[in-house]
Structure 1
């Protein structure tokens, strides 16, 4: 399933390390697209260009303070993910909490980085998350799987499972979707793959294949979905490097 994408990665690896100006250009493009789409999936109404100017420090009239913070916070969470990779830090519960804290900073500080203390449902999903009293154990099992088994599977499959299993636990009151996509891309970027930017236009298909995983244990459709999104993630490198 992954031969085509691994071939592209080999071509990309031949150009590494990339020149600093290319890295900066690609990073700016990625942060904007990733932030816009991940927030739009969750209902943020900033357009792509509005997100761009907010990240440049300009206030957009007619948009809520929350929407401005969602853009800024997501950008800062990406910086944190990049810092984890740079420092080669091992995957941990501490990272999960820190990412979530950044996502909800100045939006809901009372719940930022803190597991929910009540039961919730995922709107439109076929399966309900576990009881809130089980979250600590579920996260411990999640980390244990990662430490003992995750390395045995292809990075794209591993990233997809990190995303789906985390969403299934749904440990926080809000911000689980954004956090799960950041964790998924942390895995991909660690392994040298472009991040998987799930576009708002593909939101329905994304929800459907994710629900199949969580409710029925059917994993292949979501893995294929992530594969296709990562494949698209090579497009900026094709433009800049001609691969």
Structure 2
């Protein structure tokens, strides 16, 4: 039942995300969190941690509940003004800071990734998908790096690759007559499948994932 609520709640929030021009604020964060956790954790939905509601993720201990609201305010203020100056760099920093604060009892990852896409759209960039299948190899280690060192280079790189993939997907679907699996394209042009897959991951090929399968324009030429 939790998975059903998670999917339906996320669909509603995503509709709002794609149609709303509302600026990022504490009020928006709390409203979307309430919608995401409706039917899942109604007792914690739409509010920051408080009292003795400490949370631990792996070896990381979230911020003291007494300071959560102020820390989120400070993160939003820095996000609006910088540093850093670049759009992807600022989005990456805010996401790392938000997840390290871990302001909610539950749903921190889901709301954090929704906010990431809200910020990308506000910057004129496409929303991205942080895929569950690869989170343990790229996304979680990037957050852990920030928690340990205050460095967010790894999330900048991951986010930049995801934005490139999202742009490639849109361009290909708008301009190509046929989209085929990357493996089929590699065979056609005489490239090893592992080479093509590695280039797709580095986005040196305009490939993109659909249902966790790498795809590319059938007409693509090097």
| Same fold per superposition (TM over 0.5) | yes
C-alpha distance in 2 between matches for 1:84 and 1:214: 32
CA contact (8 A) 2:48 2:103 kept: yes
C-alpha distance in 2 between matches for 1:75 and 1:96: 16
Aligned to 1:95: 28
Aligned to 1:25: none
CA contact (8 A) 1:185 1:195 kept: yes
Instruction: Select the residue among 106, 122, 130 that pairs with 1:174.
Output: 106
Aligned to 2:147: 214
Aligned to 1:121: 56
Instruction: Select the residue among 99, 105, 111 that pairs with 2:38.
Output: 105
**Higher share in strand:** 2
User: 1:234 is paired with a residue of what secondary structure?
Assistant: helix
Q: Which has the higher contact order (CA 8 A, sep 6+)?
A: 1
TM-score, normalisation: structure 2: 0.73
Two-structure CA RMSD over aligned residues (Å): 1.6
Aligned to 1:19: none
User: 2:61 is paired with a residue of what secondary structure?
Assistant: coil
Aligned to 1:225: 158
CA contact (8 A) 2:96 2:152 kept: no
Instruction: Select the residue among 192, 195, 202 that pairs with 2:124.
Output: 192
Larger Rg: 2
TM-score, normalisation: structure 1: 0.67
5+ residue gaps, structure 1? 1-64
Question: Is 1:78 aligned with 2:14?
Answer: yes
**Higher share in helix:** 1
